Structures are given as C-alpha cells and as structure tokens.
Copies of this chain bind each other. A is one copy, B any other.
Amino acid sequence: MDMHENSPHGDVAALFGRLVRESLPGRRGEGAWRALLQAQATLMRQLDTDLRDNTGLRLADFDVLAQLAEAGGRLRMTDLAARTLLSRSGLTRRVARLVDEGLVRRANAPGDGRGVVVALTDAGVARVTETVPVHLQGVSKLFVERLDDQELALLESALRKVIVDCTFG
C-alpha cells in the first residue's frame, strides 16, 4: 500500500523514527537532549537581549569582563580565550573592541615578548560591577529560581559528565 504522504517516497516520518530507534534504543535520552538544546538556546537569547536592554552590554562582552574580574583583573589572551570558550582570533577582535570602549587595556606579558596581558581598566571594573547584579538577576529569575536544590545539584553533576575536553579556535 502506498500512503500518498509525499508523492515519490513513502512515509518519511516513519522512516526517520525507525532510524532514531535503531541508534537510540527506546529513544533513550532523546527528550533530555532536546531539552538541553532548547533550554540553552532560549536562555542565552533571553539573557543577551535583557542584558543589552538594561546595561547596553552584550552578553559575550560581559563574559570577557566577568572572567577577567574573577581572575583578579588580568589574564593572558590564551587563558582568557579558554575561559570564554572563544577562539583565539575571535578573542583578539573582541578585546580590540573592548579596548576601543576603554573597558580593557592590553600590555606586553612580562618575561614573554610574544604574550599579551589583558587587564580591566578602572572603567571596566566599574562597568562589570554594575552589570554583574543585572546579569545574575536574569540568571536567577530564568534558571536558578525555577529549580530546587536537588535539581540544581543533579543538573550540575550530570552536565559535568558530558563536558567534552576540546580546545577552541
């Protein structure tokens, strides 16, 4: 019998479902995987637009400033790239933009003529100081508050297990 679903080939959805069940027995993990994709995509998007609207800083730039602040104010380019999950070339340009805005300063690394140290300027410290609460309130409202302690603990331990050790850039 042909099920006139889609003229030439049979029921594509059924074929697709069969393939999924072959690779993921019982479709195990499929729901969790989809939830991960959707949660991350929508959360990041919402946080980015909220942060932009409320502080004028995009999330990616804030991340650079926050990583610097957490590290005491200064980091080597390569370290900073690793922490921000950014490629090194991507970081070069991002830092250049932040330098233009006066939030960050570049200096030669002491004892290594190749290296560059990125440091927060006073303006950068001020900016990150006023931005952190806004960002974390977003994280709190959209993420932390919606989960209880047990869920947060399990989420953390489970997600840690699936972090891939891959270098970026």
Residues of chain A having any CB pair with chain B under 8 Å: 5-6, 8-9, 11-13, 15-17, 19-20, 22-24, 28-29, 31-33, 35-43, 45-46, 66, 68-74, 85, 119-120, 122, 125, 128-129, 132-133, 136-137, 139-140, 142-144, 146-147, 149, 151-156, 158-166, 168
Contacts and interface: CB of A to CB of B under 8 A. Distances in A.
Given A28-B144, A43-B162, 20 more contacts: A8-B122, A9-B125, A12-B73, A15-B69, A17-B70, A20-B132, A24-B144, A29-B140, A29-B152, A32-B152, A33-B139, A38-B85, A39-B163, A42-B163, A45-B166, A46-B166, A142-B164, A154-B154, A154-B158, A155-B158
B139 A13 contact: no
A37 B119 CA distance: 24
A42 to B, nearest CB: 4
Chain A interface mostly helix, strand, loop or mixed?
Answer: helix
B8 A159 contact: no
12 contacts: A8-B122, A9-B125, A15-B129, A20-B132, A28-B144, A28-B152, A31-B152, A35-B155, A41-B85, A42-B85, A42-B166, A43-B163
A74 to B, nearest CB: 6
